[in-house]
Amino acid sequence: WAKAAGGDRYEVYDANRHDAQALRSTLAKGLRSALHRDDFTLRYQPIVRLADGVPIGAEVLLRWTHPEHGPVAPEISIDLAEEIGLIGQLGRWVLTRGCQQAARWYRDLGDRAPFVSVNLSARQLHDVGLADDLLRTLDEVGLPASQLQLELTESALLGPAQGPADALEALAAHGVRVAVDDFGTGYSNLAYLRRLPVRELKIAGAFIDGLTPGHSGTPADRQIVASVIALAHGLNLTVTAEGVETREQARLLRSMGCDHAQGWWFARPGEPDVLPRMLVGEGGKPVDPVPMY
Ligand code: C2E
Ligand code: MG
Ligand code: MG
Ligand code: MG
């Protein structure tokens, strides 16, 4: 989680500014043709209910492999897409594909179908067409709005602009859920929690690392996690822990009253069938989630 903890994401690039520029423009070009060729893929990471280990949702994560440079971190693809004005297209592609997948789960699994949780960049939130676009997409793919969650970072939610607030209100009124991603790593101004229809806080993995000994965290992390859980519940929000890597962390989070969790301990981001496989075992029997603890 060094990257998430605030390190410079472009340290590799900074080693040589000239190469960095060249690489960026190569990637930017690649991004453009990747969109045309449909070269992106999506991975789905299960989100489980800590009380019983049942998967209730899945975060949608963008993957792109450049033909020469190999896999590109999604933060870099997203940054580049914003820079070169492709984020609208790329963001819509992610939303449409994610919703199509969720609609398939909904058709196959009914009540037990996981919701999808899609990351939105700040730029996407400011797109005036967002709410109408999204509601139309839900309609077209046949997905109930309650099966869609949007993840926004604190920095995307801050700021006085009325457009994003109206868009989120409109979406929330239809049942779309809004989650704050990487809660606690952005700004300490919490006023947006009063203004916006937020339903869930996601605790950044950097804080989960420090919950148990032997990781890079500090004793403060435990207090921070406890405080975020208390804050969420005090505001009637649910709370998800990200980056849960060990049984110990999962157990501790459950005992602290954290509602949901995701992380390598439960499942890595995978193909869409990772979800049904967790829900339905051999012969159609429900899978016993207990071994997770
Ligand atoms: P995020 O939204 O906070 O997503 C969680 C990240 O943690 C993902 O990284 C996931 O693969 C990783 N992760 C999950 N479990 C564990 C674990 O147990 N340990 C560790 N160390 N990591 C874990 P990923 O897939 O590389 O995505 C990075 C970031 O890129 C995301 O952070 C999100 O901010 C952004 N992103 C990814 N896909 C999209 C997208 O479609 N649109 C936008 N706007 N942003 C995206
Ligand atoms: Mg996220
Ligand atoms: Mg996150
Ligand atoms: Mg993030």
Ranges of residues in the chain with a pLDDT under 50 are 1-13
What string of DSSP letters covers the chain?
Answer: -TTTTT--TTHHHHTTHHHHHHHHHHHHHHHHHHHHHT--EEEEEEEEETTT--EEEEEEEEEEEETTTEEE-HHHHHHHHHHTT-HHHHHHHHHHHHHHHHHHHHHHHGGGPPEEEEE--HHHHT-TTHHHHHHHHHHHHT--GGGEEEEEEHHHH-S--HHHHHHHHHHHHHT-EEEEEEETSS-S--THHHHS---EEEE-HHHHHTTSTTSS--HHHHHHHHHHHHHHHHTT-EEEE----SHHHHHHHHHTT--EE-STTT--SB-TTHHHHHHB-GGGPBP--GGG-
257 lines ligand 1 (CB under 6 A): no
Query: Of 196, 152, 151, whose CA–CA distance to 170 is shortest?
Result: 196
Contact by Cβ (8 Å): 153, 180:
yes
Measured CA to CA, the distance from residue 29 to residue 135 in angstroms comes to: 31
CA of 285 to the centre of ligand 1 (A): 31
What pLDDT sits at residue 183? 94
Residues with CB under 5 A from ligand 2 (ion): 119, 151, 181
Enter the ipTM: 0.98
Mutation to probe ligand 1, out of 242, 244, 268 (largest number of atoms < 8 A from CB): 242
**pLDDT score recorded for residue 22:** 86
Residue 71 near residue 65 (C-beta atoms within 8 A): yes
C-alpha 182 to ligand 4 mean position (Å): 6
Neighbouring-strand partners of residue 183: 203
Phi, psi of 266 (to 5 degrees): -90, -50
Residue indicated by tokens 């649910």: 238
* Tokens 């921070």 sit on residue: 224
pLDDT reported for residue 12 = 46
**What is residue 4's predicted lDDT score, i.e. its pLDDT?**
41
- Ligand found nearest the CA of 262: 1
pLDDT computed for residue 242 by the predictor:
97
Q: Which of 35, 61, 72, when mutated, tests ligand 1's pocket best, judged by the most ligand atoms within 8 Å of its CB?
A: 61
Residue labelled with tokens 């809660």:
183
What is the value of pTM for the model shown? Answer: 0.91
Instruction: Give the per-residue pLDDT at 6.
Output: 40
Residue 211 CB–ligand 1 contact under 6 Å: no
Please state the atom number of ligand 1 nearest to the C-alpha of residue 73. Answer: 26
Taking alpha carbons only, the member of 42, 30, 33 closest to residue 66 is: 30
Q: Is 250 in the pocket of ligand 1 (CB under 6 A)?
A: no
Contacts of 88 (CB under 8 A, 6+ apart): 123, 124, 127
Residue nearest to atom 37 of ligand 1 (CA): 61
Q: Which pLDDT value is given to residue 106?
A: 97
CA distance 250 to 245: 8
